[in-house]
Amino acid sequence: MNNNIKNEINDLKKEKNAIILAHNYQPKEVQEIADFLGDSLELCIKASQLDDKDIIIFCGVDFMGETAFILNPDKKIIIPDLDADCPMAHMTTGEEVKVAKKKHPDAAVCLYVNSLADAKQYADTLCTSSNVVKVIESLDEDEILFGPDNNLGEYVSSKTFKKIIPITDEGYCYVHKKFTVQDIETKRKEHPDVEVICHPECDKVVQDKCDKVMSTGGMINYILDSDKNDFVLGTEIDIASRINLLNPDKNIIPLRDDAICDSMKIITLEKIRDSLKNEEPLIKLPDEIAKKSLKAVNHMLDASKN
Ligand code: 13P
Ligand code: SF4
């Protein structure tokens, strides 16, 4: 059954000159048919290099599709199910950024890429968890308004002398919020010599108890380069699918089995096939918002090169 759908997807992809991009948290069967897999930054860079494609199927969540649209306003950007939204991305609105800017007129605005274009249009730059320190250091200003992820904000605060000012009091990822210090203690007892790595979207107390804090792309590179095979990872469970596609010998132990991003899981092979067939649902943004947001996206891409 899956093989039939996979063949249909591959035929449609050729016929329509389409490419399938997928995030490291996508279900295994989606990762298997993707042309390109990556963390948020790698996907953003890839989306900026797709002049030769007519259709981009983005297997991820809303803000990722919007960013691909900002970079490619003339292409058809499709998320196979528009209900795939990132709750964190909705936690800082454009209005909240405007209010914060008025309160801190000398501060630059850096938004986590996990934000909607409604907010991105007022940002000076964006960041992901893999380039956040580089991006913040690239700014001339010493005060930085930051959102929506206040855990990532706290993480970068500890790595820079710049003053990081949260735009809103509450901004978090509900998946990474689940991890506790108790989870780490339990896993360390079960697997005494195994390194524990978590994502900077985890709470600071959890980050402090881990051996390393890394983006999903950072974890993948680190683990593939390591001589060791066993790792406990404090992030979304399907990171294991990505790592095992690259090296089946790696034994990825999830810090919690219920660290599941529901929105990432609603993308299925059937929905990918149907969206290719029907060329919908399309991601669209008003011209003005897309143009204004492009400035911040490009600033981040430039800062990531250095
Ligand atoms: P990265 O893939 O950039 O580490 O981000 C994690 C995430 O939660 C994406 O939504
Ligand atoms: Fe958003 Fe968290 Fe899901 Fe990433 S894992 S898409 S931050 S809800």
293 Cβ closer than 6 Å to some ligand 1 atom: no
Which ligand has the shortest distance to the CA of 172?
Answer: 2
Give the mean model confidence (pLDDT) for residues 267-271: 97
pLDDT in tens, 240-259: 999 999 999 999 999 999 99
Is the predicted pLDDT of residue 306 greater than 70, yes or no? Answer: no
Q: Which among 153, 64, 152, 158 is positioned nearest to 107, based on CA atoms?
A: 153
Which ligand has the shortest distance to the CA of 263?
Answer: 2
**How far away, in angstroms, is 23 Cα from ligand 2 center?**
11
Is the predicted pLDDT of residue 2 greater than 90, yes or no? Answer: no
Strand residue runs (E) in 24-156: 36-38, 55-59, 76-78, 108-112, 125-127, 143-147
pLDDT level of residue 1 (50, 70, 90 thresholds)? low
Contacts of 60 (CB under 8 A, 6+ apart): 21, 22, 23, 25, 26, 43, 79, 84, 264, 267
pLDDT in tens, 82-114: 999 999 999 999 999 999 999 999 999 999 999
Strand residue runs (E) in 94-173: 108-112, 125-127, 143-147, 163-166
User: What is the predicted pLDDT for the residue at 3?
Assistant: 83
Distance from chain centroid for Cα 197? 17
Q: Do the strands 195-198 and 163-166 form a parallel or antiparallel pair, or are they unpaired?
A: unpaired
Give the mean model confidence (pLDDT) for residues 182-195: 97
Q: E strand or H helix at 22, and its extent?
A: strand 18-23
- Average pLDDT along the chain: 96
pLDDT in tens, 192-229: 999 999 999 999 999 999 999 999 999 999 999 999 99
Q: Are 9 and 34 in contact (CB under 8 A)?
A: no
26 Cβ closer than 6 Å to some ligand 1 atom: no
For the CA of 201, the closest atom of ligand 2 is: 7
pLDDT level of residue 305 (50, 70, 90 thresholds)? confident
Domains belonging to the chain, first-starting first, are 2-85+264-284 (3.40.50.10800), 88-172+288-305 (3.40.50.10800), 176-260 (3.40.50.10800)
Kindly list the strands in the beta sheet with 143-147, ordered across the sheet, starting from the edge strand earlier in the chain: 125-127, 108-112, 143-147, 163-166
The pLDDT > 70 percentage for the chain reads 99
Distance, CA of 93 to CA of 118 (rounded, Å)? 6
Whether the full predicted model's pTM is greater than 0.75, yes or no, is yes
**How far away, in angstroms, is 24 Cα from ligand 1 center?**
8
pLDDT in tens, 33-60: 999 999 988 999 999 999 899 999 999 9
